């Protein structure tokens, strides 16, 4: 019985970390918000891995994971961008809508399609890429609209039909390019908690 809770506890930690990231972004503490988003990406990989290892994949787990991902990799990056002071801050709304659409589209895919290459950039990768860029890429003076362009590109990639391949090193480890690590979670499976 305890085994059932392990993946869900990890997903709950992802959700709470995302909520904390939203709060720090709102308070104007982007470094903490970015760190939390990246930490949530790690948790998002661990919950799917744990579910598969323990053979506790479930419909509930898949939807719970997607709900957590919407907060951690949809709302938190959107809030971070909105509070950045960019003149194009409304792009945050577009990003959030695309993240939600990406997660719902993934949940509605047939199981065999979810196990293949990713269609569109995974939401986890989009949020983690934005957080990493905020942390490690300095913004040159006079380039205030560049982050907005990046947000629009990430948003479009999430809802695009571009195929993002997975690299599988073993039955247990699946990594999506550029970021995911599991065969279906996070943009995950309703029928089994594959991600």
Give the C-alpha separation, 101 to 4, whole Å. Answer: 28
Q: How far is CA 42 from the centre of its chain?
A: 10
Specify the pLDDT at position 141.
77
Instruction: Grade residue 51 by pLDDT with cuts at 50, 70 and 90.
Output: confident
Question: Above 90 in pLDDT, residue 73?
Answer: yes
Q: What is the CATH number of the domain that holds 50?
A: 1.20.120.1760
- In-domain check, residue 190: no
- How far is it between the farthest Cα atoms of the chain? 57
* Residue 168 predicted with pLDDT over 60: no
CA distances from 41 to 129, 139, 182 (A): 10, 24, 12
Kindly give, in sequence order, each residue whose CB lies less than 8 Å from that of residue 99, ignoring residues fewer than 6 positions away: 69, 70, 73, 74, 75, 77, 78, 123, 126, 127, 155, 158
80 lies in a domain? Answer: yes
Residue 142 has a pLDDT of 75
**Closest by CA position to 135, among listed 80, 90, 176:** 80
What pLDDT was estimated at residue 167?
Answer: 55
Q: How far is CA 101 from the centre of its chain?
A: 12
The yes-or-no verdict on residue 127 having pLDDT over 90 is yes
Residue percentage of the chain with pLDDT more than 70: 81
User: What distance in Å separates the CA atoms of residue 102 and residue 187, rounded to the nearest whole number?
Assistant: 7
Q: Is the pLDDT of residue 185 over 80?
A: no
Q: How many domains does the chain have?
A: 1
Residue 32 belongs to some domain of the structure = yes
Query: What angle is formed at CA 48 by the lines to CA 43 and CA 54, rounded to 5 degrees?
Result: 120
Alpha carbon of residue 111 to chain centroid: 20
Residue 194 has pLDDT above 60, yes or no: no
In a domain? residue 191: no
Q: So what's the pLDDT on residue 37?
A: 98
Q: Is residue 94 part of a domain?
A: yes
Neighbouring-strand partners of residue 163: 119
Assess if residue 9 is contained within a domain: yes
């Amino acid at each position: 019985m305890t085994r059932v809770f392990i993946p869900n506890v990890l997903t709950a930690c992802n959700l709470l970390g995302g909520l904390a990231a939203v709060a720090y972004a709102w308070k104007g503490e982007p470094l903490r918000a970015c760190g939390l988003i990246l930490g949530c990406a790690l948790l998002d990989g661990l919950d799917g891995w744990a579910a598969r290892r323990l053979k506790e994949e479930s419909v509930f787990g898949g939807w719970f994971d997607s709900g957590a991902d919407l907060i951690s990799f949809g709302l938190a990056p959107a809030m971070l961008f909105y509070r950045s002071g960019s003149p194009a801050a409304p792009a945050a709304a577009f990003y959030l809508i695309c993240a939600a659409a990406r997660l719902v589209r993934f949940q509605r895919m047939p199981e065999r399609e979810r196990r293949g290459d990713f269609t569109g950039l995974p939401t986890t990768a989009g949020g983690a890429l934005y957080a990493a860029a905020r942390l490690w890429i300095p913004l040159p003076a006079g380039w205030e609209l560049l982050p907005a362009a990046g947000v629009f590109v990430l948003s479009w990639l999430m809802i695009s039909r571009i195929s993002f391949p997975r690299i599988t090193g073993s039955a247990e480890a699946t990594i999506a390019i550029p970021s995911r690590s599991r065969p279906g979670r996070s943009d995950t499976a309703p029928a089994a908690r594959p991600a």
